[in-house]
Structure formats: C-alpha cells, structure tokens
C-alpha cells in the first residue's frame, strides 16, 4: 500500500492538469464521440453516452483529486504510526535510564565500608552487600 501512495501528489497533479487540458480543448470528446455517433444508439442512451464522454475528463479530475487526498491521509497516518513507535521506544529507554539513576541515587544516600565488617573482603564499587558473605556494607550511624 505504501508504494501505491508513494507518488500520489505528483501523479495527481499531472493527471488533473492533463484532464483540464483535455476538457478545455475538447480534444478527448472530439476523438471519442464519432464512435458513438456511428453506433445504433438513439434517444436517452445516446444522450447518456454523449454526456459521459464529454464529462469523462472532469470525472478523472475528481478521481485524481481523491487519489491525492487518500495519499495524503495515508502518509499522515503512516507518519503518526512511526512517531508513536519512536515515542514508545524512547519512553522505554528513558524508563531504563531512570531505573539505573534511581539505583545510583539510592546508593549515594548511604556511607559504605570499603572492606566487609564481617569477613574483611574488599567491597566493590556500587555494592551495598558483601559478595562473599552477604553482610551489609552500609555504615550504620550511631545516634547519641
């Protein structure tokens, strides 16, 4: 469907211009009307086909205009879908970054031992629990 509306604006404009020229010069009518004049059509049927041939360029102008509008609407919806997908992806990425920042902010709220008070193992950066014995590395403040 994307390729159907890919060039709807230039095709629509070209089609409208061509059909305006055909209608204004009456060349399409003059080319096709001899076919029905030589047929056995009479009365209402002849009048119907005569009018149809005369107004065919106008009908095509309307169809090309509708094609351009449909292409515009399709592209607008397509862009909106793409924008929604990108926005959703950015929201997910920002949520992940926010979680990481929250963990770091929570870590910075406390003071930590550089070595485990239980087993003496060195504490790694951003660790709140000893990786060897599981003891908390958070320094508990003594309230006096």
Which DSSP string corresponds to 75-98? HHHHHHHHHHHHHHHHHHHHHHHH
Question: Mean pLDDT, to the nearest integer, of 99-119?
Answer: 86
Q: Please tell me the distance from the alpha carbon of residue 85 to that of residue 87, in angstroms, as a whole number.
A: 5
Q: Please give the structure tokens belonging to residue 141.
A: 């403040």
The proportion of the chain whose per-residue pLDDT surpasses 90, expressed as a percent, equals: 39
Residue 79 has pLDDT above 70, yes or no: yes
If you compute the radius of gyration of the chain from its CA atoms, what whole number of angstroms results? 38
Instruction: Give the total number of structural domains in the chain.
Output: 2
- Say yes or no: 81 and 62 in one domain: yes
Query: For the segment 59-73, what is each residue's pLDDT rounded down to a tens digit?
Result: 999 999 999 999 999
- Say yes or no: 95 and 117 in one domain: no
In which band, very low, low, confident or very high, does the pLDDT at 144 lie, cut at 50, 70 and 90?
very low
The per-residue pLDDT for 29 is 85
Q: Please tell me the distance from the alpha carbon of residue 20 to that of residue 27, in angstroms, as a whole number.
A: 11
* Structural domain span for residue 138: 110-144
Main-chain dihedrals φ then ψ at residue 41, nearest 5 degrees: -70, 140
The per-residue pLDDT for 50 is 87
In a domain, 1, yes or no: no
């Amino acid at each position: 469907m994307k390729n159907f509306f890919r060039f709807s604006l230039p095709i629509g404009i070209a089609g409208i211009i061509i059909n305006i020229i055909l209608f204004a010069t009456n060349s399409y009518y003059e080319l096709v009307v001899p076919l029905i004049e030589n047929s056995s059509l009479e009365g209402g049927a002849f009048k119907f086909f005569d009018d149809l041939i005369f107004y065919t360029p106008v009908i095509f102008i309307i169809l090309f205009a509708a094609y351009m509008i449909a292409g515009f609407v399709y592209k607008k919806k397509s862009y909106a879908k793409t924008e929604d997908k990108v926005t959703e992806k950015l929201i997910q990425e920002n949520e992940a970054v926010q979680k990481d920042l929250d963990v770091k902010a929570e870590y910075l709220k406390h003071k930590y031992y550089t070595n485990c008070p239980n087993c003496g193992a060195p504490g790694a950066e951003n660790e709140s629990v000893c990786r060897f014995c599981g003891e908390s590395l958070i320094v508990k403040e003594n309230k006096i």
